Structure 1
Amino acid sequence: MPDPLRPLRINALELMRQPGAIRDIADGIEAAPLGVEHDRLTSHIQVDLNLEALTDGIKVTGTLQAQWSTVCRRCLADISGCAVAEVSEVYQRDMVDPEAFAIEQNQLNLAPMVREAILLELDLERSCREDCAGLCPACGVDRNEATCSCDITVRDNRWAALEGFVIDE
């Protein structure tokens, strides 16, 4: 069985022999082997990266894209879109920069960077639109499409014990 993450494993030694050398990667990667088993992702992660050899590492720049689909957090309508992550990272053999990714055993493993960038672009809660009115908490009608006559006055129950309290003057 072929390794689905093979396009994200690069021979760093070959690239670093020539500082200034550039290598492009354009591929569709399955999300599950990356550990992005996100039920919201509906397609492969499109990876378009540019690798540039530096004297002390490799600079990776480019774009990652993934289609997503979920439900509105307010009205439960189906919504979808495209998560786009712009990346600019450095991989180093001798970890001088604590923010850099490591080159281990002369291999550049782009999978952790791709995983991190895509997950950061996926919002945990999305709305179908900014002014979504949501569902009525009493009858469940979609308040974007219809109105209801439910009384949805919010009561602070912490003060309920004092309702019958009468102060004699």
Structure 2
Amino acid sequence: MSKRDRQRSLSVPLRLISAGQLAWSATVPASALLDPDSRDALRIADVEVPLDSNLDVALTLEMIGGGLSVAGEVTAAWTGPCARCWLSLEGEVRTTVREVFTAQPREGEQYRLGPEYADLTPMVREAVLLELPIEAIRCPHPEPCPNLPAELAEAREDAAEGGPAALADPRWEALEALRGQMDEPS
């Protein structure tokens, strides 16, 4: 296996860890994380890791009794829509991993360790997907957002001035009453 192939793969030959511990890093395309059985995108709701982007993986692999301990950091870029103006935003997810690989893994607790290689792909894929933002992403633009459609910008202005849009949804009236009680001095 050439150095270039190793840099683009998340399969680590166990012979490289013969001294007991290995500091290992790679830059791999996000497309390498696709599950070959499902070919699902690296996506949670509207947020995804672009398949043409790269992930950086920096790990320490250590042989332990009956398996392999893997600890380190994974970094990936993501894209998703703004919660206000729906323009595409970009961000970065950085996650710490600490996992165990064994020949006989317990489902949901460990990863499978092959006889000659440790395939880190499932671990990296799960770590990235678990760190992607799943709630509405705040727009980086200051208020008012220059990309906000005019009808939404007008509704925000009415709400800020206490106009008809301020209590447009009657389900929030009870919360507003509680807020008013909390603002009153005791």
Q: What TM-score does the superposition give when structure 2 sets the normalisation length?
A: 0.63
Structure 1 segment 75-86 matched on structure 2, within 5 A: 75-86=85-96
Instruction: Return the index of the structure with the highest Cα Rg.
Output: 1
Q: Aligned pair in 2 of structure 1 residues 93, 72: CA closer, same or farther (>3 Å)?
A: same
Q: What is the CA distance between 1:69 and its match in structure 2?
A: 2.7
Match for 2:70 among 29, 41, 60?
60
Q: What is the CA distance between 1:68 and its match in structure 2?
A: 2.1
Instruction: Among all aligned residue pairs of Structure 1 and Structure 2, give the percentage whose two residues are the same amino acid.
Output: 26
CA distance in 1 between partners of 2:61 and 2:132 (Å): 25
Query: Where does residue 101 of structure 1 map in the other structure?
Result: 111
Structure 1 segment 19-34 matched on structure 2, within 5 A: 21-34=20-33
CA distance in 1 between partners of 2:92 and 2:54 (Å): 11
Q: Aligned pair in 2 of structure 1 residues 77, 51: CA closer, same or farther (>3 Å)?
A: same
More helix by percentage: 2
Q: CA RMSD in A?
A: 3.7
Flag structure 2 segments of 5+ consecutive residues without an equivalent. 35-40, 172-186
SS in 2 for 1:140: helix
Query: Where does residue 164 of structure 1 map in the other structure?
Result: none
SS in 2 for 1:139: helix
Q: What is the CA distance between 1:96 and its match in structure 2?
A: 6.1
What amino acid maps onto 1:7 in structure 2? S
How many residues are treated as equivalent by the alignment?
A: 149
Structure 1 segment 10-159 matched on structure 2, within 5 A: 10-12=12-14, 14=15, 18=19, 21-35=20-34, 36-38=41-43, 40-41=48-49, 43-95=53-105, 99-125=109-135, 126-128=137-139, 139-141=151-153, 147-148=157-158, 151-152=164-165, 153-154=168-169
Flag structure 1 segments of 5+ consecutive residues without an equivalent. 157-169
CA distance in 2 between partners of 1:73 and 1:59 (Å): 39
